[in-house]
Amino acid sequence: MRYEAGTYDVAVIGAGHAGIEAALAAARLGCRTCVFTINMDAVGNCPCNPSIGGTAKGHLVREIDALGGEMGRTADEATIQSRMLNLGKGPAVHSLRAQIDRREYGKIMKHKLELQPNLHLKQAEIVEIAPEEDGVWRVVTRMDAVYRAKTVVLATGTFLAGKIYVGDVSYESGPDGLFPAKFLSDSLRKLNLRLRRFKTGTPARVLKSSIDYRDLEVQKGDEPVVPFSYDTEKPIRNKAVCHISWTNEETKRIILANIHRSPLFSGMIEGVGPRYCPSIEDKVVRFSEKKRHQLFIEPCGLDTEEMYLQGMSSSLPEDVQLAFYHSIPGLEHVVIMRSAYAIEYDCVDPQQMGPTLEFQDCPGLYGAGQFNGSSGYEEAAAQGIVAGINAALKVLGREPLILDRASSYIGTLVDDLITKGASDPYRMMTSRSEYRLVLRQDNADERMTPIGRKLGLISDERWERFQKKEQMKKRELERAEKTVFPPSEALNHLLVSHETSAVSTGVKLAELLRRPQLNYEILAPVDPGRPDLPAAVFENVEIEIKYEGYIKRQKADIAEMRRLEERRLPEHTDYTQVVGLRTEAQEKLNRIQPASVGQASRISGVSPADISVLLIWLSRRREG
């Protein structure tokens, strides 16, 4: 028999990376919040790779932290190895990646939820959500407890109608052998939400002592470790190493000989898999010309003997997994502790949402994370904080938070999902941002912390530290433009030794920093007036000086983009009534209901000619 169990401002369904950020943000903004999880021991679980960050993903973590989120701080607390990726490339693609202790990460996150004022953490499977006449949402658990909430955030991850596949064996399950969410999908269909099936997978976990490390390449962490969070002051130490190995022709032969036993190729799996993180059998088929594929052997934590085989996701049968793993150098006698598997799950078409991640036809209902068709912990957390903030702001009667493409990778992620949709699990990449030289990870605080402060998610202490850093940066930029080095034997020797031309007249520090061969570290011996500043300040200043021209050009592009974003389109417009629009454009515009001309211009199937028609229609509408 159903019973009334409580009333909240915000209810969050799911306590993975999206649900955590949504719940914490809402509670910290002063809303009475409840977060539901199927299993309390799975809060903050990392069912796939034991790492946070990576190419473009590190940018997201930095932005989440700068906005007032929790992922970066907790990743720093659980880090066992850290590396900055892409240092051989330009600063726009430098990305931090941390190997974490996955159990420690979940333990820390769970405790933070438990300690957070205004927040209740409850173990329960949600089986039904429905709007009531007064605009409040009804949330019902499998135990027939009825909760009421003014807003709801759906962050179900891969649990929603989850199904595991290993060879020809399949069964209902969430990740890591946890129970799936069996009944909620039917409730969502009653709300006319368009659901689809996606698929992802994970490699085997193997016994550390069964690996032969003698011929494996060692991958050490960077020193000193750069933290994700601007709040982290305690130095982080590298406590573990990773190793690298490669598949070979024998690995390929074993997989191809058994490809008919893969549910991915036999037709058992209906869901669409991730394009940019394919299984090993998918790699072997799609990239048949490649003789080998790289894999990373990574520790799952400091207090476990489980090792993760990054790059070796599979849904082949257990006996085939064992055979192809044994063909790989270092893994000839490896013992599998957890078999690789694929998981299929329900998710939603994100084109039904607006830029706040609220469903257009379901006021007060928000979506975040893999439920929205994305993949990855970082993408999930980024959507979670946006959905949680906006759910709280709606309750509080405040203006919503809308991040555009030029503000952040978070804004790019949300805009891509709601405008372009997700035909397969969406993964953030630096190439997705046309403004990536402006949206670097080193300046995430400069872009996002003022927004977090205005919202109320940045403390006074942190705001003071941020302002101090900005003042240091401003003074150093001024010093670089004013400081002139006279020609000298020492200066010219240094310049020539780094393959750049000597000087015969005085030269500004900024001019020297613009030379690609030089940086602050190289110039230190001839720069006696250099102040004692944090390394992050010097990095920020050097990038802005070195890439000044390119940055100015991107800022001009941003200004033009924002001009189109300011041309707002009316809600619930019937675009079949806009004369001159092509039929395809009318259909796409009616389905997505873009908020602005700028968003409309990014919809696949809407041409520049259609945008011109929209601009003329808007002008006439205003005149009328």
Tell me, what DSSP letter sits at residue 426? B
Look at residue 276 and tell me if it is in a domain.
Answer: yes
Whole-number pLDDT of residue 270: 75
Average pLDDT, the chain: 95
571 and 502 together in one domain: no
| CA-based nearest residue to 485, from 505, 502, 515 | 505
CA 542 to CA 291: how far, in whole Å? 41
533 and 613 together in one domain: no
Beta strands 137-141 and 205-207: pairing type?
Answer: unpaired
Instruction: List all residues 6 or more positions away from 315 whose beta carbon is below 8 Å from its beta carbon.
Output: 165, 166, 167, 201, 262, 263, 264, 269, 279, 281, 340, 341, 342
Residue 47: count other Cβ atoms within 10 Å of its Cβ: 19
Assess whether pLDDT exceeds 80 at residue 314. yes
- CATH code: domain of residue 581: 1.10.150.570
Q: Which of 295, 320, 344 is the last residue of a domain?
A: 344
Look at residue 588 and tell me if it is in a domain.
Answer: yes
Note whether 412 and 28 are within 8 A (CB).
no
Residue 224: cis peptide before it, omega within 30 degrees of 0: yes
Q: Which of 495, 519, 552 is the last residue of a domain?
A: 552
pLDDT band at residue 624 using 50, 70 and 90 as cut-offs: low
Look at residue 248 and tell me if it is in a domain.
Answer: yes
Whole-number pLDDT of residue 276: 66
Assess whether pLDDT exceeds 80 at residue 623. no
- pLDDT per residue as tens digits for the range 144-162: 999 999 999 999 999 999 9
- pLDDT per residue as tens digits for the range 54-79: 999 999 999 999 999 999 999 999 99
Look at residue 576 and give its three-state secondary structure.
helix
**Domain count of the fold of the chain:** 3
Assess whether pLDDT exceeds 90 at residue 561. no
pLDDT band at residue 500 using 50, 70 and 90 as cut-offs: very high
CA 550 to CA 554: how far, in whole Å? 6
Assess whether pLDDT exceeds 80 at residue 274. no
Residue 432 C-alpha from the chain's centroid: 13
Q: Where are the alpha helices (DSSP H) in 483-577?
A: 489-497, 509-513, 520-523, 535-546, 548-565
- pLDDT per residue as tens digits for the range 76-102: 999 999 999 999 899 999 999 999 999
Assess whether pLDDT exceeds 80 at residue 252. yes
Note whether 137 and 365 are within 8 A (CB).
yes
- CATH code: domain of residue 287: 2.40.30.260
Look at residue 598 and tell me if it is in a domain.
Answer: yes
497 and 603 together in one domain: no
282 and 215 together in one domain: yes
CA 413 to CA 399: how far, in whole Å? 21
Note whether 154 and 367 are within 8 A (CB).
yes
Q: What is the mean pLDDT of residues 379-393?
A: 98
CA 50 to CA 277: how far, in whole Å? 15
pLDDT band at residue 263 using 50, 70 and 90 as cut-offs: confident
Q: What is the mean pLDDT of residues 589-595?
A: 92
300 and 325 together in one domain: yes
**Sign of the CA dihedral with 526 first, then 527, 533, and 534 last:** negative
pLDDT band at residue 264 using 50, 70 and 90 as cut-offs: confident
Whole-number pLDDT of residue 174: 96
pTM > 0.75: yes
293 and 263 together in one domain: yes
572 and 606 together in one domain: yes
Q: Which residue has the tokens 């993964």?
A: 427
Whole-number pLDDT of residue 499: 95
Whole-number pLDDT of residue 1: 87
- At 348, list the tokens: 């939603």
- Tell me the Cα Rg of the chain: 26
pLDDT band at residue 166 using 50, 70 and 90 as cut-offs: very high
Q: What is the mean pLDDT of residues 26-53?
A: 97
Long-range contact pairs involving 159-162 (C-beta distance under 8 Å, separation at least 24)? 159/14, 159/38, 159/345, 160/184, 160/185, 160/345, 160/346, 160/347, 160/371, 161/185, 161/345, 161/346, 162/343, 162/344, 162/345
Look at residue 428 and tell me if it is in a domain.
Answer: no
For the chain, count helices (H), then strands (E).
Answer: 21, 22
Look at residue 594 and tell me if it is in a domain.
Answer: yes
Whole-number pLDDT of residue 278: 84
- Give the helix/strand (H/E) hosting 153: strand 145-154
Q: Which of 344, 365, 392 is the last residue of a domain?
A: 344
- At 491, list the tokens: 């200066």
Look at residue 364 and tell me if it is in a domain.
Answer: no
CA 196 to CA 303: how far, in whole Å? 38
∠ Cα 77 46 210 (to 5°): 95
Note whether 361 and 192 are within 8 A (CB).
yes
- pLDDT per residue as tens digits for the range 412-459: 999 999 999 998 999 999 999 999 999 999 999 999 999 999 999 999
CA 497 to CA 517: how far, in whole Å? 10
Look at residue 224 and tell me if it is in a domain.
Answer: yes
Whole-number pLDDT of residue 519: 95
514 and 619 together in one domain: no
Q: What are phi and psi of 335, to 5 degrees?
A: -105, 125
Note whether 84 and 96 are within 8 A (CB).
yes
Assess whether pLDDT exceeds 80 at residue 224. yes
496 and 538 together in one domain: yes
Domain around 614: 567-623
CA 422 to CA 170: how far, in whole Å? 25
Beta strands 163-166 and 341-348: pairing type?
Answer: antiparallel
